């Protein structure tokens, strides 16, 4: 398997040069994992030129060296990561201007920089590493594809077991068990099972509500493989679907089919969003599709790029994004269908395969 960490660190070093920064302090764990491979939950990373210094605590003494020892100098601290940071910085006397991740650093820690780190000039940076993460390496796409297969396999296990009378939480538990059995390391986010009128809440939490016959059942969930997430939604009916359930499902499915086939790298995020939005508008449900069409997917379940009405930036080649149109009617319910798509040089490739037909479950 190709190791891309050296290239990523070099790309970051170039970006720091261009921004006239001598170094960057990273506190975002997904960014640290992307650059070094370290998957623990406590770390600071200082990148200065081609050198990376990872500071973590004693719980990770073995793991940090195993995961990151070949690309970063690993410093194990017993009391505070910040002590380690001051030591690392002090050992690099040529450093003067150091960036920090302004969307990732707690205010309390920013105060530390001002009070204990007053020998350095601190500059806020935004999305340096997040920008690098948008274009996926082939191995990253492969991990998302694996996570996608785990998700659809688990859904295939779940569907024959669905019955009226189960609660949303029971269904979430059955699905999460199937995800674990399929090999998922964790859950990309808390599984959403929303039934009946609750399916109108685009970001519902699973509840103790019992699912009834004839109702919509929306399930939005994801697996994790090698740290990478998948994100899949299907909406079912338990029993026979009514006229409106069929109609709305057909509209959402048509929007997904169209957007997943026509989305391209190089297209602005807002134009990708419009592929689905215009379709839904033409079919008369435009005012019921109120969220954005999709988001980037990777080490985090929501990352750059965005597919929304406001997204001016072009979608980078190599990105993996979700396509997730939805139509919601308060008091009635909602339908969302979501797949994950890789934006390759030769066009879009869907990474999650599960029927988009409306399944009426006995
Ligand atoms: Zn989702
Ligand atoms: Zn999503």
Q: How far is the CA of 47 from the centre of ligand 1 (A)?
A: 34
Q: With the CA atoms of 40, 53, 8 and 6 taken in that order, what torsion angle do they form, in degrees rounded to the nearest 10? A: -100
Ligand nearest to the CA of 203: 1
- Between the CA of 46 and the centroid of ligand 2 the distance, in Å, is 32
Q: How far is the CA of 232 from the centre of ligand 2 (A)?
A: 7
- Verify cis geometry, omega within 30 degrees of 0, for the bond prior to 4: no
CA of 203 to the centre of ligand 1 (A): 9
Q: Cα(283) to centroid of ligand 2, in Å?
A: 23
> What distance in Å separates the CA atoms of residue 145 and residue 135, rounded to the nearest whole number?
15
For residue 201, how far is its CA from the centre of ligand 2 (angstroms)? Answer: 14
* Ligand 2 center to 219 CA (angstroms): 12
Strands (E), 212-318: 216-221, 224-225, 228-229, 232-238, 294-296, 303-307
Q: Please report the DSSP string for 75-105 in residue order.
A: EEESS-HHHHHHHHHHT-TT--EEEEETTTS
- Tell me, what's the pLDDT at 341? 98
Three-state secondary-structure class, residue 142: helix
How does pLDDT run across 263-310, given as a tens digit for each residue? 999 999 999 999 999 999 999 999 999 999 999 999 999 999 999 999
CA torsion 84-87-93-98 (nearest 10°) is 30
Q: How far is the CA of 294 from the centre of ligand 2 (A)?
A: 6
29 CB contacts (<8 Å, ≥6 apart)? 40, 41, 43
What is the tens place of the pLDDT at every residue in 117-176?
A: 999 999 999 999 999 999 999 999 999 999 999 999 999 999 999 999 999 999 999 999
Q: How far is the CA of 81 from the centre of ligand 2 (A)?
A: 34
Task: Extract the residue ranges of the chain whose pLDDT is less than 50.
Answer: none
Q: Which ligand is nearest to the CA of 295?
A: 2
Q: Which of the ligands is closest to the CA of residue 337? A: 1
How far away, in angstroms, is 310 Cα from ligand 2 center?
A: 17
User: What residues form DSSP beta bridges with 326?
Assistant: 336
Ligand 1 centre from 94 Cα, in Å?
A: 46
Ligand nearest to the CA of 189: 1
pLDDT of residue 358: 97
For residue 301, the ligand closest to its alpha carbon is 2
Ligand nearest to the CA of 221: 1
Distance 327 CA to ligand 2 centre (A): 15
Q: Tell me how far the alpha carbon of residue 325 lies from the centroid of ligand 2, in angstroms.
A: 10
Cα(287) to centroid of ligand 1, in Å? Answer: 21
Asked whether the beta carbons of 188 and 197 are under 8 A apart, the reply is no
Distance 233 CA to ligand 1 centre (A): 6
Spacing, Cα 326 to ligand 1 middle (Å): 11
pLDDT of residue 1: 61
For residue 82, what pLDDT is reported? 96
CA distance linking residue 61 with residue 74, whole number of Å: 9
Ligand nearest to the CA of 302: 2
Å from CA of 231 to ligand 2 middle: 5
Ligand 1 centre to CA of 301 (Å) is 8
């Amino acid at each position: 398997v190709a190791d891309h960490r050296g290239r990523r660190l070099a790309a970051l070093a170039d970006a720091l040069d261009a921004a006239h920064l001598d170094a960057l302090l990273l506190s975002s764990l997904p960014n640290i994992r992307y650059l070094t491979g370290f998957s623990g939950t406590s770390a600071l990373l200082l990148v200065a030129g081609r050198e990376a210094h990872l500071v973590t605590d004693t719980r990770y003494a073995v793991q940090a060296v195993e995961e990151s020892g070949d690309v970063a100098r690993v410093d194990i601290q017993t009391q505070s990561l910040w002590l380690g940071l001051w030591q690392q910085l002090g050992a690099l006397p040529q450093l003067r201007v150091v960036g920090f991740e302004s969307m990732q650093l707690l205010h309390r820690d920013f105060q530390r920089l001002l009070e204990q780190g007053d020998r350095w000039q601190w500059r806020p940076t935004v999305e340096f590493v997040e920008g690098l993460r948008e274009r996926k390496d082939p191995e990253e796409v492969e991990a998302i594809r694996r996570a996608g297969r785990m998700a659809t396999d688990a859904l295939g296990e779940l569907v024959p077991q669905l019955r009226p009378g189960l609660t949303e939480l029971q269904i979430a538990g059955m699905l999460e068990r199937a995800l674990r059995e399929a090999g998922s390391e964790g859950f990309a986010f808390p599984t959403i099972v929303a039934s009946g009128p609750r399916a109108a809440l685009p970001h519902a939490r699973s509840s103790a509500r019992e699912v009834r016959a004839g109702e919509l059942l929306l399930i939005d969930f994801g697996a994790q493989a090698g740290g990478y997430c998948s994100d899949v939604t299907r909406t079912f009916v338990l029993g026979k679907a009514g006229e409106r359930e069929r109609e709305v499902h057909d509209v959402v499915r048509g929007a997904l089919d169209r957007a997943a086939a026509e989305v391209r790298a190089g297209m602005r995020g807002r134009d990708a969003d419009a592929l689905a939005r215009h379709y839904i508008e033409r079919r008369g449900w435009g005012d019921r599709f109120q969220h954005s069409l999709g988001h980037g997917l990777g080490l985090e379940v929501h990352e750059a790029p965005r597919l929304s009405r406001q997204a001016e930036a072009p979608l980078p080649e190599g990105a993996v994004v979700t396509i997730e149109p939805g139509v919601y009617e308060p008091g009635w319910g909602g339908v969302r269908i979501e797949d994950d798509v890789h934006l390759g040089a030769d066009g879009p490739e869907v990474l999650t395969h599960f029927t988009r037909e409306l399944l009426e479950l006995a």
